[in-house]
Amino acid sequence: MSRPRYKDLKRNLIQFCRLLRANELLLGPGEVADVIRAVESVDLADREDVRLAIRSVATSRPEDFPIYDALFDYFWGRDRELDNGHSQDGGPKLGEQPSRQAAKINLNLDPDRNPDAPPEGEEEESLPVYSPIEVIAHKDFSSFRAEELAEIARATLLVARRLALRPSRRYRPARRGGRIDLRRTMRHAIKFGGTPVLLARRRRKIRKPKLVLICDVSRSMDSYSRFLLQFIYALQNTLGRVESFVFSTSLHRVTQYFKSSDIYDALDRISHEIPDWSGGTRIGYSLSMFLDKYLDLLDQRTVVIILSDGLDTGDPELLEKAMEELQGRSAKVIWLNPLLGSADYRPLARGMASALPHVDLFAPAHNLASLEALGRQLVGRR
């Protein structure tokens, strides 16, 4: 079980970093070394200094803070001084029970344990464990219960992070890890009479696409729009180069809403402040509004993603014209339709039929697996 089990502080810090990594915080070997150096630079008697020193290295986004704080309290115990990872009585600095915060956000408290198997001699619910994405990846969004919203929000953020870390085909120089760069190695060897004293390395670049996300929040999308907006929020706060819009009978820019550090606050504000939330559907009119007001957001590096069931009540000719212009001014147009997750679905609605000739990728968006598959389509032109 994950707890400070060693007398050596460094070994306990490495173990703590493994626990953070098991909960999808982005820590590699370099960050682990930085954590050790950060702790060595502060007063171990000051618990808050130690907590903030590790957090400055171990977290990369505000969404990581509650996860980190819960794991810190769980691993090191609450309201105790750190002394090489042990309390003054020599016992491990671990509370008797996981903190309420850890239980609330469903963390994996033991990276070595199979999350599907209960601890020996205990009931299955005795230890709160984060369910891996794979467990809920194929569950339709419309079937989630209200108490599962926190779990899907967490999983959606992890999916967005995976998309953000997809490597491109191009390489960049690296100090360690990756592949040996033979060309740079031989160029450096000239300084030493042709002897390759220093091995140059390279690793793949992380290519983050430029996205415009346009989500349907009309009445027919009620079962899916909240989950898809969580996905948009996660992408915007992970990829960075994202502009977000919602529409029902008209278009509204919501990029600023998603800059909030709390997804639930952002969703509540959007649902209350957007005047036609859960109203009718005029896709063509809404896309025409986008082209009139925000055409400068498009270029040949922009991927446009429309999330809608395609049940348009407006003019199909207006929709077709708008889609044609969108396709011509962007790198790729992707249409994600939750109804496509059904084996019986056919795109026969006149709105969807009008749009399809100008869509580069038509794909489902009814569960996490379908959203994660999107990553393979975001990089590259049509």
Q: Which helix or strand (DSSP H or E) is residue 215 part of?
A: strand 210-216
Residue whose pair of structure tokens reads 């729009």 in the numeric block: 225
In tens, the pLDDT along 217-248 reads 999 999 898 889 988 888 887 777 899 999 99
* 70 CB neighbour count, 10 Å cutoff: 21
pTM, two decimals, is 0.60
* 120 CB neighbour count, 10 Å cutoff: 5
* pLDDT tens series, the chain, 382 aa: 445 566 778 888 988 998 888 887 888 778 888 899 899 888 888 888 899 999 999 988 777 888 898 888 888 876 444 544 444 434 333 333 444 444 444 565 555 543 333 333 333 333 333 344 566 788 888 888 766 767 777 777 777 766 665 566 677 787 766 678 888 888 888 887 787 778 888 877 666 778 999 999 999 999 898 889 988 888 887 777 899 999 999 999 999 998 876 778 888 888 888 888 888 999 999 999 999 999 999 998 899 999 999 999 999 999 999 999 999 999 999 999 999 999 899 999 999 999 999 999 999 999 988 887 876 666 555 5
Whole-angstrom distance, CA of residue 324 vs CA of residue 320: 6
Q: CB–CB of 359/310 below 8 Å?
A: no
Q: CB–CB of 258/294 below 8 Å?
A: no
Q: Which helix or strand (DSSP H or E) is residue 180 part of?
A: strand 179-180
Backbone torsions φ then ψ of 210, nearest 5 degrees: -90, 120
Backbone torsions φ then ψ of 301, nearest 5 degrees: -110, 0
> What pLDDT does residue 355 have?
96
Whole-angstrom distance, CA of residue 222 vs CA of residue 225: 6
Backbone torsions φ then ψ of 37, nearest 5 degrees: -65, -40
In tens, the pLDDT along 22-39 reads 887 888 778 888 899 899
- Look up residue 363 and give its amino acid: A
What separation in angstroms does the CA of 177 have from each of 173, 180, 187? Answer: 10, 8, 19
- The CA-based angle 327-240-206, given to 5 degrees, is 85
Secondary structure (3-state) at 307: strand
DSSP 210: E
235 is written with which tokens? 């992408």
Q: CB–CB of 284/319 below 8 Å?
A: yes
